[in-house]
Amino acid sequence: MHRSLIGASLVLLAACNPDSTAPGVPAGGEIAFTSYRDASSDIYVMNADGSGVTRLTYNSALGEGAVWSPDGEKIALMSARDGNLEIYLMHADGTGLVNLTKNAAQDVWPVWSPDGSKIAFHSDRDGDSEIYVMNADGTGVVNLTNNPAWDAWPAWSPDGSRLAFNTNRDGNAEVYVMNADGSGARNLTNTPSEDRPPYWSPDGTKIAFVRNDPLETFDIYVMNADGSDARNLTNHPQWNAAPRWSPDGSKILFQSTRDGAWNIYVMNADGSAVTRLTETSGIDDAFAWSPDGTKIAFESTRDGDLEIYVMNADGSDARNITNNPGGDVSPAWRPR
């Protein structure tokens, strides 16, 4: 299956305060990313214009999925440096790296709570995929789902009171929501279709997701946070995937094969005014809004290998900011 459908959590934006700037963040912004340029998979940071590339991790094992803390001071990531995938934490400059999970199972896809005090993730430590939460220092690990089915892809509501997630406990992939302590889990989608990772609107009133119906079409839907009024926004026979709300909630980025390749599109939050932003015969993927909504970072194969690009929010002035043959992926903007 296409990378965006199995690795969507890599580019989820941390909650941020647009009126403040993390110390040391360049005026144009800063981007963390994963690179294979030094014969390993490591985390780097750079300015949004591609300057100031700095390697943060040094290990030959798999390491990726950099996720900034809401205040932009720390980075959570996944690494197999201890023999299996674990969740690690480091300062924004790469110092103070610590293993938070320390478990023989696979612990993956960390997601910060909006206040930065907790990290949700999924793990198979109890024999199947479950959603856990821990304090940001790795203490207080709690299994929130505790169900024999597959539970994954947790997404915090903007106020931190709830977690939406994916599960197949009803026989197919559905979007559920539960309280932050794991109580009150309920099915929001409840259809025979496959409904995949949830994405909260910035104001917490809506949830976007991808529905794969029995006819094998993939469309982007938006529903109210209580599961009511689910609406098909794309309604197109080609694949449509990976919805990403703009910081102000007025627009949704997504990718689609409607023009023959995986390109990036934007539409209003009600599905109107669909506009193609990129034009490539390759794959444009892993896209993320800048904190102020004026830029979009993404990875692309348009130059023959995976590179990170930045373009204006209207699709203009797309620039290759990595330009390295090693492969650069999964851009994540530092909160400001």
Q: Which two tokens stand for residue 97?
A: 């790296």
- Angstrom distance (rounded) from CA 159 to CA 320: 35
Tell me what the pLDDT averaged over the chain comes to.
Answer: 92
CATH number assigned to the domain covering 3-333: 2.120.10.30
Q: What's the mean pLDDT in 186-200?
A: 96
Cα gap 65→297, rounded to integer Å: 15
Element (H, E) at 143: strand 142-143
Tens of pLDDT along 129-185? 999 999 999 999 999 999 999 999 999 999 999 999 999 999 999 999 999 999 999
The alpha helices in the chain, defined as continuous H runs, are 3-6
Return the sign of the alpha-carbon dihedral for residues 59, 64, 69, 73.
Answer: positive
Domain extents for the chain?
3-333
DSSP 3-state of 135 = strand
Q: Is 77 helix (H, G, I), strand (E, B) or coil?
A: strand
Question: What is the C-alpha separation between 135 and 37, in angstroms, rounded?
Answer: 33
Q: What is the pLDDT of residues 82-92, one digit of tens each?
A: 999 999 999 99
**pLDDT grade for 100, boundaries at 50, 70 and 90:** very high
- With CA atoms as reference, report the closest residue to 107 among 148, 71, 78: 78
β-bridge partners, 285: 299
Calpha distance 130→272 (Å, rounded): 37
Burial level of 59, CB count in 10 A (0-12/13-18/19+)?
A: middle
pLDDT beyond 50 at 285: yes
Q: Are strands 263-268 and 251-256 parallel, antiparallel or unpaired?
A: antiparallel
